[in-house]
Amino acid sequence: MFNVISNEIIAENLHKMVVSAPRIAHARKPGQFVMVRLDQGEERIPLTISDADSAAGTITLFIQAVGASTRNIVATPAGGFIRDVAGPLGKGTRIINWGRVVCIGGGVGTAVLFPMVKALAEAGNQVTTIIGGRSGNFILLAAELTPLSDTFLVTTEDGSLGTKGFVTAPLADILADPARIPRAVFAVGPVPMMKAVAEMTRPQGIETIVSLNPIMIDGTGMCGGCRVQIGAETKFACVDGPEFDAHQVDFDGLSDRLTSYHTEEAGMHAAAECKIGRNVSV
Ligand code: NAD
Ligand code: FES
């Protein structure tokens, strides 16, 4: 059993939960995730480990309440317990000193981006962070990301905060300026956003890394649910990823797989019995 230390709402349907998990807190690397199961018979949910405090023995998870299982998890108050937290799983982010990097977070993907930005900043990179959302209410972790970033930019689709438009607009400005060309770009968010970023950096051959969120069931490479096409190879996001070279990712195939269970998920969520885990992790 894993003790919930704190649980706070940080945006609409989005919770920040700190959970006692000393072994995971000690072993985890940025980019890794855990499989969380609230109780016996419940769905397993993959959640990115957004932060960890090895001295306190805690991990921080951002959880978007999008279905019955995630709603049940976020309903667990501080002092409550989660039955299973398995991990750390997946490969960590490759953190080196690239020099100049751009990190892009779309919507709730920003919470997955956060540990990457932190690790890249700690490795001495000059980090430009761009985060975007539909409106100011959907901008996450601005206060936490600002001190880690040499340049911090916000976009909103309605113009209520930062620059009006998509995250890709400031990226286009950066890519057009020879003095600001990054050595690497990291992007986490909706599939169309990651695909757009990949197409923008491809002509200049800028290394671009995306974190993928396919459907996951076991999280250990056994079920094949999370398979993604990377170049000529089929990979499992849970053991081979979740981060991949964006220029090799079949984003259209990923989109198809993400939408193929929508009807079933809607029905199962209604019955509160969904057994399919999507990486709602944020
Ligand atoms: P959203 O649809 O509100 O988009 C957030 C921002 O992404 C937009 O404001 C825009 O700046 C950018 N964006 C979206 N579409 C774009 C496009 N076509 N071109 C350029 N930029 C674009 O996002 P949301 O509702 O907060 O996030 C939900 C999505 O994020 C879901 O699809 C979810 O699966 C995905 N997600 C991905 C990960 C991951 O690990 N990759 C993690 C969590 C959530
Ligand atoms: Fe089953 Fe990855 S979730 S193989």
| DSSP tag of 91 | P
Of 260, 276, 259, the C-alpha closest to 268 is: 276
Q: How far is CA 127 from CA 53, 133, 140, 151, 163, in A?
A: 23, 20, 17, 7, 19
Of 177, 215, 181, the C-alpha closest to 201 is: 181
Cβ of residue 196 lying under 6 Å from some atom of ligand 1? yes
| Domain end among 62, 89, 116 | 89
Question: For residue 259, how far is its CA from the centre of ligand 1 (angstroms)?
Answer: 14
Cβ of residue 276 lying under 6 Å from some atom of ligand 2? no
The 10s digit of each residue's pLDDT in 113-135 is 999 999 999 999 999 999 999 99
Average pLDDT of the segment spanning 271-279: 38
151-156: strand order across its sheet: 163-164, 151-156, 126-133, 100-106, 184-188, 207-211, 243-245
Residue 276: inside a domain, yes or no? no
Q: Which residue has the tokens 């993907």?
A: 109
Residue 141: inside a domain, yes or no? yes
Cβ of residue 265 lying under 6 Å from some atom of ligand 2? no
Domain check: are 211 and 123 in the same one?
Answer: yes
**What per-residue confidence (pLDDT) applies to 270?**
42
Q: Taking 50 as the threshold, does the pLDDT of residue 271 lie above it?
A: no
Which of 3-7, 138-142, 181-185 has the least mean pLDDT? 138-142
Domain check: are 78 and 105 in the same one?
Answer: no
Q: Which domain holds residue 56?
A: 2-89
pTM reported for the whole predicted model? 0.91
Task: Provide the number of structural domains found in the chain.
Answer: 2
CATH code of 22's domain: 2.40.30.10
Domain check: are 38 and 71 in the same one?
Answer: yes
Average pLDDT of the chain? 91
Q: Strand, coil or helix: what is 282? A: coil
The 10s digit of each residue's pLDDT in 160-216 is 999 999 999 999 999 999 999 999 999 999 999 999 999 999 999 999 999 998 989
Residue nearest to atom 25 of ligand 1 (CA): 107
Question: For residue 61, how far is its CA from the centre of ligand 2 (angstroms)?
Answer: 20
Cβ of residue 86 lying under 6 Å from some atom of ligand 2? no
Write the single-letter amino acid at 80: G
